[in-house]
Structure formats: structure tokens, C-alpha cells
Structure 1
Amino acid sequence: MKGKEPLFRRGVFTFSGSHFLNDLVTTGMVPALVVLYKQAFDLNYTQSTLVVLMSYLTSSVSQPLFGMFADRKPRIWLYPAGVFCSIMGLALTGLAPSLPWLLLFISISGLGSGAFHPEASRATHLASGSKKALAQAIFQVGGNAGQAFGPLLVSLYVSHSGIQGLLWLIPIAFLSLLLTGQILPWLREKLETTKLQSKKQINGDNNLLGATLLSCVIILRSWCQIGVVVFLPFYLHNLTIQQSEILSFVFVGAGALGTFVGGVLADKLGMKRLLVSSMLLATPFALIFPHVHGVLSVLVLLLFGFSVLSSFSVSVVYMQRMLPKNIGLASGLSIGFGVGAGGIGSVFMGGISDIFGIATVFTILSLLPLAGSLIAVFLPNDRMEKKLAA
């Protein structure tokens, strides 16, 4: 029976590890590097956040497209190639002579991430057996851990070496090929064995309204997450770059833990209930944070990150349930388009910062989880979707 399929641990943890490397450089290091890029190229706030925009825009636009292509014909070579390009693209920014070249290399990194996510998420789906939520939680924890360690790496190393220190990512890009290449034979065989069963696996109709509402929730959550990471160093101007990046690590690191806990609790509470409650729970912490200081601010930031990102892996599985006929597209929307929209939000927030100041940005960011929670109330019952997909 399908319900008794075991979890392929080596595969899931390989995909999680590659997710760590990919998101370490894209969603982890790129926002944290904005301060250094601003100094190196003498940029204003709007130009600085344009770097984040190009990274997230190329990733967010390409991921649904790569996902649709993958639904028609999986291309497993995009899995290792995507990780390689995402790391190599960022490494080459250490050689960028001007802003246009910087944006070009950042775009290559974003496209690599866009190619990676749909294939990696599909592969995780294949390796998950009957434990879809747990497998996606492990996969997403890898990505969120990369996002958390990205700012930490910037604060401990790149801030001292300068952007030229990013060139040391080049050997890591080649090492990533060893990690991803060793799982390709299994993945190729798995795709062949499941091809004959594909019709049996695609049950139920796509819920386009539910997918649209969920995308809106993911976008708001992404604006909040990326906004905090990008603007925290500017908001806490009395702290050093290293100190502010460590706070970013606390925020996203707590989110990685929340991602795993949310994936475990989803089967008991239900995905809709978890999504609504986690965003609602994040609201008071978001409102309090600008008004606290010292150790209390670290504690509030930790709880804020844990709660707002605890629905991360759940939203991926939720989207796959609502788009059972298009697993690749579902992954592209939930991980790519929705999350990548944070880059667009960061540029919008950058414009607000130039006009009204950083404090106004944090006031707006504090209201985004509440808006996401209200929209999530209107999502379809995930238990019904589960029965339709069964």
C-alpha cells in the first residue's frame, strides 16, 4: 500500500543538505551582504535593495517556470546544476567591477536557485514515502538553516575579508557536485519506476482559488522575513555589522527550528490551523520588537522567528495538496514565487526607508503576519484536500 511506503532517509537528508548550501548563499548571504555591497559600491537604500530584488526576482519568476517544465518532463540534471550556479554566481560577485556586473552575477545565482528548488522538492516528495510533511520539514529545515548561517558567515568572515572573500565559495560550488551527483542514480531509477504509477498518484482536481490565497499568505510571510533580515542592520545602527548579523542568525535560526516543529505538529493540528495560529502568534512579537532592548530584544526576536516561520514546510505540502496535478508548479509557487516575492517587497521597503525612515519599515513589517493570518482563515480545509488527494 502507498500509505506504508518508508522514508528514504539518505535521499531526504541529501536533498536537505543541498538545500542548505543553496539557501546559504541565496536567501541567507545575499540579504546580509547588502550592507557590504552598499559600502563597496557607494549605493543608496533603493539601489542596495535592488541587489536583493534581482536575486529573488530571477529565482521567483523562474521557479514556477522550471516547475511547469518539470511536471511535463523531469530534468534531474537541473538539481546539481542549480546548486552549482547559485553558489558560483554569488562567488563571482567578489570580482564584480561595477553595479551592473554585480546584478548580473546575482541574477545567475538566482536562476540557479530557481532551477534547483522544483527538482529538489519533487525528489524529496519521491523520497518521502508516506511521511510527506516530515520529509518536507527536513528538506525545508536544511534551507532555513542555510538562511540562518548565511548572515553568520557574513558577520564572521566576509565582513573582515571584504567581498573578495566570496571567491572562496568557488571550491564549495564544485564540492556541491559531489553531494548532489551521488544521489542521481537513485533519483533516475525512482522516476522510471514511478512513471507507470503516475496516473494513480494524480488524484483530485487543482484548487486554484486555494493556491492563490496560500500564495498571498506566503508572500506576506516572505516580506516579513526578508524585511527583518535586510533592514535589521540598518535599524540597529548602534550595533556593529557582526552583532546585527548575529541577531539575524537568531531570527532565521529560530525559524529553522520552528519549521521542523511545525512539520511535526501539522499532522496533529492540521495545516490550515497551524498556518493561521503561527502567523497570529507572530503578530505580538513583531509589534513588541521595535520597543524592547538588550537581552529581551533577542528573546522576542527568537520567538518572532520561531512562530512566523513554523508554517514554512507546511505551506509547501499544503500547496502540493491543492495542486496534485502539478507538483513541480506547486513547489515553484510555494518555495519560489512566494518566497522570492520578498525581494520585491524589500525594494518597496527600501523606497519607504529613503523617504520616511527605517522605523516606518518596521512598523509595516509588524503588521504583515496579522494580514497573512486573516487571509489564511479563508483557505480550504486541508483535511478535505487530504482526502481528495488520497
Structure 2
Amino acid sequence: MSAGHACVDVYQGAVAALVPFLVSERAYGYAAASGIVLAASLLSSVVQPLFGVLADRRPMPWLIPLSTAAAGVGVALVGADAGYPATVAAVALSGLGVAAYHPAAARLVRTALGGGSGHSAMSWFALGGNIGFACAPLLVFAALSVPGAAGWWLLVLPAALGAFLNRPPAAARRRGGSVAPGATAQEA
């Protein structure tokens, strides 16, 4: 789950890393660039409590890989260069994916611990997200070093890996997101 978390949070850092490119290559001004960062920040953080309410009410293990994919595809679609509104919409999709991921994934980590304290497990989970965020500039640099659309689609690779890593354990899928008490996500 920690590695999967890294694959999602890389997209939070990717938006900020893309700003210099958007300013220099698309001639976005300061206000336009700030609007893109605002869209990503608002949707990845302010909307997250709404997904938390949903995750509190019912398990949604299917949302974990789906939100991971949305985060990656959104950032990759920035490369389509279909204009400023489309860029904001792509970043918004990514932010929405990031927001949807966290409550559902945290619920899975918590239930995999069987209701125990799990502070160290949650710390490892959080560390994965921080590593992903920190690696984002490297990912963006690598992707933008490849000419054409192929470079932009390289940005989807962490999402593909994350969707694979973040697929709920078979037992959680059968029980709607809960893992047997005392079982880890790997054991389930």
C-alpha cells in the first residue's frame, strides 16, 4: 500500500513541476499558472473529506485503482495542449483522483490491521505518499525529455503500476473492502 500511495501522490507533485513548462512552452501567465495549481490543490484536498464521508459509510475498494488511474491520466492529458480550459480540466481530473484515493486506501490499511493501533503501518503508508510527491520532478523531467506525445504518456506509468499495486486484496473484494481482523492486506 505504501508503494501504491507513492504512485498516486507523484501526481500531486507533478502539477507543480509542470508549471515552469506551461509558463515557458504555452506562455501561460502567472495568473493562469496559479489557476492550474489552485485547481489541483482544491480538488486533491478540499474535496477529500467528501470522499472520506463516503468511505466511512461504505467500503469502496474498487475506488482505489480507479482513482489512481484518474490521477495519472489527468496529468498525462495536460500534454494534449487543447487550450487552457482543457488543461485545467485535466489537472482537475488528476486532483479528483488523488482526493478519492486517500480515504478509501486509508480505510483499507486500517481494516487490514484488524482495528489495532497500526500507527507504524499508517506511517509507512504516509511515507510512500511523501516519496511519490518528492519524486514527481524527476518523473516530469524524464517525461518531458522524450519528444512528442510519447513523453506525456510516460506520465501514466506510475498510475498503471499504482493501479496494479492498489488493487484490493481478493478477500477485501469479496467482503466489500474489509479484511479479516488480524490479517494483513497481503494475507487477505
TM-score by structure 2 length? 0.84
Q: CA RMSD in A?
A: 2.1
| 2:80 alignment partner, one of 95, 113, 122 | 95
Give structure 2 stretches of 5+ with no counterpart.
182-188
Q: CA deviation at 1:171?
A: 4.8
Partner of 1:148: 134
Work out whether 1:191 is the aligned partner of 2:162: no
Work out whether 1:169 is the aligned partner of 2:155: yes
Moved over 4 A (4+): none
Partner of 2:185: none
Q: Name the amino acid aligned to 2:82.
A: P
Looking at CA atoms only, which structure, 1 or 2, has the larger radius of gyration?
1
Q: Aligned in 2, Cα 1:163/1:24: closer, same or farther, shift over 3 Å?
A: farther
| 2:59 alignment partner, one of 74, 80, 96 | 74
8 Å contact from structure 2 (residues 143, 155) kept in 1:
no
- SS of match in other structure, 2:166: helix
- Distance (Å, rounded) in 2 between the aligned partners of 1:119 and 1:168: 26
1:110-121 matches, cutoff 5 A: 110-121=95-106
- SS of match in other structure, 1:75: coil
Q: CA deviation at 1:154?
A: 2.5
Partner of 2:3: 17
- Distance (Å, rounded) in 2 between the aligned partners of 1:119 and 1:149: 23
Q: CA deviation at 1:172?
A: 4.4
- Distance (Å, rounded) in 1 between the aligned partners of 2:6 and 2:148: 21
How big is each residue's C-alpha offset from its partner over 1:337-374, in whole Å with a ceiling of 9 and x where there is no partner?
xxxxxxxxxxxxxxxxxxxxxxxxxxxxxxxxxxxxxx
- Distance (Å, rounded) in 2 between the aligned partners of 1:42 and 1:102: 13
Work out whether 1:139 is the aligned partner of 2:125: yes
How big is each residue's C-alpha offset from its partner over 1:247-296, in whole Å with a ceiling of 9 and x where there is no partner?
xxxxxxxxxxxxxxxxxxxxxxxxxxxxxxxxxxxxxxxxxxxxxxxxxx
- Distance (Å, rounded) in 1 between the aligned partners of 2:160 and 2:143: 20
Q: Aligned in 2, Cα 1:40/1:163: closer, same or farther, shift over 3 Å?
A: farther
8 Å contact from structure 1 (residues 93, 163) kept in 2:
no
- Distance (Å, rounded) in 2 between the aligned partners of 1:118 and 1:124: 10
Q: CA deviation at 1:180?
A: 2.1
How big is each residue's C-alpha offset from its partner over 1:197-234, in whole Å with a ceiling of 9 and x where there is no partner?
xxxxxxxxxxxxxxxxxxxxxxxxxxxxxxxxxxxxxx
1:363-374 matches, cutoff 5 A: none
Identical counterparts, % of pairs: 34
How big is each residue's C-alpha offset from its partner over 1:140-162, in whole Å with a ceiling of 9 and x where there is no partner?
1100000111012233x244336
Partner of 2:40: 55
Higher relative contact order (CA 8 A, sep 6+): 2
Give structure 1 stretches of 5+ with no counterpart.
1-14, 195-390
More helix as a share of residues: 1
Q: Aligned in 2, Cα 1:112/1:142: closer, same or farther, shift over 3 Å?
A: same
8 Å contact from structure 2 (residues 8, 162) kept in 1:
no
Q: Aligned in 2, Cα 1:145/1:163: closer, same or farther, shift over 3 Å?
A: farther
Q: Aligned in 2, Cα 1:178/1:154: closer, same or farther, shift over 3 Å?
A: closer
- Distance (Å, rounded) in 2 between the aligned partners of 1:192 and 1:121: 13
Partner of 1:35: 20
TM-score by structure 1 length? 0.42
1:168-317 matches, cutoff 5 A: 168-181=154-167, 183-188=168-173, 189=175, 191=178, 193=180
- Distance (Å, rounded) in 1 between the aligned partners of 2:143 and 2:165: 25
How big is each residue's C-alpha offset from its partner over 1:109-131, in whole Å with a ceiling of 9 and x where there is no partner?
11111111100111111223534
